[in-house]
Amino acid sequence: MSARRTLVRVAELLAVVVVLSLVVGQVLGQPVLLAFVETGSMSPTLEPGDGFVAIPAQLTGPPEAGDVVTFRAEEIQGGGLTTHRVVGETERGYVTRGDANPFTDQDSDEPPVKDAQIVAVAWQPGGEVFVVPGLGTAVEGVQGGLEWAQRTLAALLGTRSLLGTQGIAYLLFGATLLYYVVGEFLSKNGKERTRDGRRGRDSGLDPRLVTLALTLLLVGGATAAMVGPAGQQEYGVVSAEFESERPTVIPMGESNTIPYAVGNGGFVPVYVYVEPASEGVAVEPDRLRVERGEIRNASVTLSAPPRTGYYRRFVVEHRYLALLPPATIDTLHATHPWAPIVVIDLLIGVPFYLLGIGLLGRGRIRRRSRDRKAGSTVRNTLRRWSP
């Protein structure tokens, strides 16, 4: 395979990864590698449809003034992911503003942004946002096609398990298996035609690139199964002068305990960590093993300050496939919440890739234009298995 063709195929693979990251990020409600804006509130820095590199907030630490962040808004356009710039900080949280807006978000009734609400920080080399123009339109088209495929397959098979974020994981895994079978068929077919000498020279699929693409799809599905159902939960606590039947209306200085349900709709058991993400919250237990189809409860204790008012409380959930011993996951999780995801992805991806290379071979599937002698066939076979 020529260097030019190799570059083309690598570029195609990168394009698939980019689009997959954007689509999965939009469906999960959590930027994955890249994100894009849909409105002009960040103009001229980011125009509608422009993309940017989204670094997970867990990797960046607390943002500073001037950073462009993606956070879960409560009031802006009815709530949801919003990308604006941090312009200040108060005791209650961060002050944010779109570059095109003359006023801050907090001037228009959006509460100060807490660390728990920030999901990503835009990459700003040299202090300027790295912009990827025009990604939004393509991603929305692919996302629409993916949602259509989910609804169609769910209707045909009569199951709702293919919908939502869990369905994304199933589709990615199914696509991986299907593509793997097709790749194996093409590999064998290519070998047979090479022996017959009826195919053109130096064409066909590189098994390493095919296997890498399949591995990325499989790892993407596993990551979606862990990241999608997880995230943060917000509780609006009212510190009141009276008692109430509502669990989040709590007398001043007192506390109330409510259940936190954790379910597992997947096929693999999971370890779920439920942890406080703000002051005035306690969780017990902080780790649960949830089997397939099971629902378990943790207890969240919310405390009301000694002054009346409305206060926001947060808990955050992290979810990991139970493919590692619990002590190992505990250690990795204590190091960084994403560390178990990385190790589990490697545990899934590396053996799958090596198995694929073993089945498909490491050499390219070549096609020859004329018959070869038996000696040439032997030499070609040996060459196929050489590095």
Neighbouring CB atoms inside 10 A of 378's CB total 11
Element spanning 334, H or E: helix 326-335
pLDDT bin (cut points 50, 70, 90) of residue 189 is: low
pTM: 0.60
Whole-number mean pLDDT of the chain? Answer: 78
pLDDT bin (cut points 50, 70, 90) of residue 382 is: very low
Cβ-Cβ contacts under 8 Å for 183 (sequence gap 6 or more): 205, 207, 210, 211, 214, 360
Distance CA 197, CA 335 (A): 56
Domains and CATH numbers, the chain: 3-136 (2.10.109.10), 231-323 (2.60.40.10)
Residue range 185-214: average pLDDT? Answer: 58
Residue 94 has pLDDT above 90, yes or no: yes
Name the residue with higher pLDDT: 370 or 322: 322
Residue 72 has pLDDT above 80, yes or no: yes
Identify which of 383, 9, 348, 382 has the alpha carbon closest to the alpha carbon of residue 169: 348
Which of 54-58, 228-232, 323-327 reaches the highest mean pLDDT?
323-327
The pair of structure tokens assigned to 344 is: 């589990």
Residue range 64-76: average pLDDT? Answer: 90
